[in-house]
């Protein structure tokens, strides 16, 4: 009897566990689309786009110095973990006129990580508001044209998030004031969307080799 129990523990349980998690990836491994067709980024002289990229989108606003802590939290908890993925980028939108403040911020970020996937776009106030409103979230843009929340945009320009979050119900964005939220929720969601695209790429490659 003891031998049978040991054999079950050693051989059967790992197989059951593998099948459980494998089916979980297939059935539950997609991050819900909350808003379809977010307006494409269109900044003259800049080729940064949502198309074919997994984008973390943020709005730093006029008071960049007050968002440094938020940016550093995002850098340490999300950016440094995922920036080596080919199609990953962090795009921060700011009003025209904040260029010098951003130069200072970029220098500080460069002391912490490779900043090649950090993208800063400077836009007119109306364009910033239009982009934010096009996300169709329940989050408000501040009077300074900034917010501590960041958003996940997929390769097709769709806003991804949670439609059954245990705390908020529908979760459109992630609060960079909260290290716990970045650690406990956003890391998982970025992992899911990266895995989703890797799985799709693998399936496509397998079809091409058949």
What DSSP line would sit under 2-59, residue for residue?
HHHHHHIIIIIHHHHHHHHHHHHHHHH--PPEEES-PPPP--TT----STTSEEEEEE
Q: Give the tokens for residue 112.
A: 């912490």
Of residues 149 and 23, the one with the higher pLDDT is: 149
Question: What is the rounded distance in angstroms from the CA atom of residue 162 to the CA atom of residue 181?
Answer: 13
Tokens of 144: 């300074």
Q: Check residue 44 and give its pLDDT.
A: 83
The band of 133, judged by pLDDT with boundaries at 50, 70 and 90, is: very high
Across 102-165, where does the E strand assignment appear? 118-123, 146-153, 159-160, 162-165
Hey, what are 64's tokens?
Answer: 């960049």
DSSP state letter for 167 = T
pLDDT at 42: 86
**Which pTM value belongs to this model?**
0.82
H/E segment holding residue 93:
strand 88-95
- What CA–CA distance (Å, rounded) separates 117 from 107? 14
Local confidence band at 190 (pLDDT 50, 70, 90 cut-offs): very high
Query: What is the band of 204 on the pLDDT scale with cuts at 50, 70, 90?
Result: low
| Of 169, 168, 170, 145, residue with least CA distance to 160 | 170
> What are the pLDDT digits (tens) for 104-130?
999 999 999 999 999 999 999 999 999
**Contacts of range 135-142, beta carbons closer than 8 Å, 24 or more positions apart:** 135/35, 135/38, 135/159, 135/172, 136/34, 136/35, 137/34, 137/35, 137/172, 137/173, 138/170, 138/172, 139/172, 139/173, 141/59, 142/61
C-alpha to C-alpha distance for 176 and 167, rounded to whole angstroms: 16
């Amino acid at each position: 009897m003891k031998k049978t129990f040991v054999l079950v523990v050693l051989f059967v349980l790992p197989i059951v566990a593998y099948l459980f998690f494998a089916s979980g990836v297939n059935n539950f491994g997609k991050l819900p689309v909350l808003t379809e067709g977010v307006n494409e980024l269109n900044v003259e002289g800049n080729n940064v786009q949502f198309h074919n990229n997994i984008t973390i989108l943020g709005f730093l606003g006029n008071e960049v110095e007050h968002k440094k802590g938020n940016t550093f939290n995002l850098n340490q908890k999300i950016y440094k973990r995922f920036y080596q993925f080919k199609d990953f980028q962090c795009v921060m939108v700011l009003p025209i006129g904040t260029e010098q403040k951003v130069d200072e911020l970029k220098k500080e970020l460069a002391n912490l990580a490779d900043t090649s996937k950090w993208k800063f776009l400077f836009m007119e106030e109306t364009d910033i508001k239009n982009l934010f409103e096009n996300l169709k979230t329940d989050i408000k843009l501040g009077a300074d044209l900034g917010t501590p929340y960041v958003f996940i945009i997929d390769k097709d320009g769709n806003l991804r998030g949670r439609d059954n979050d245990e705390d908020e119900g529908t979760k459109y964005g992630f609060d960079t004031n909260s290290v716990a939220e970045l650690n406990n929720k956003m890391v998982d969601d970025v992992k899911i969307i990266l895995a989703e695209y890797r799985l799709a790429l693998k399936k496509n490659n397998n079809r091409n080799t058949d």
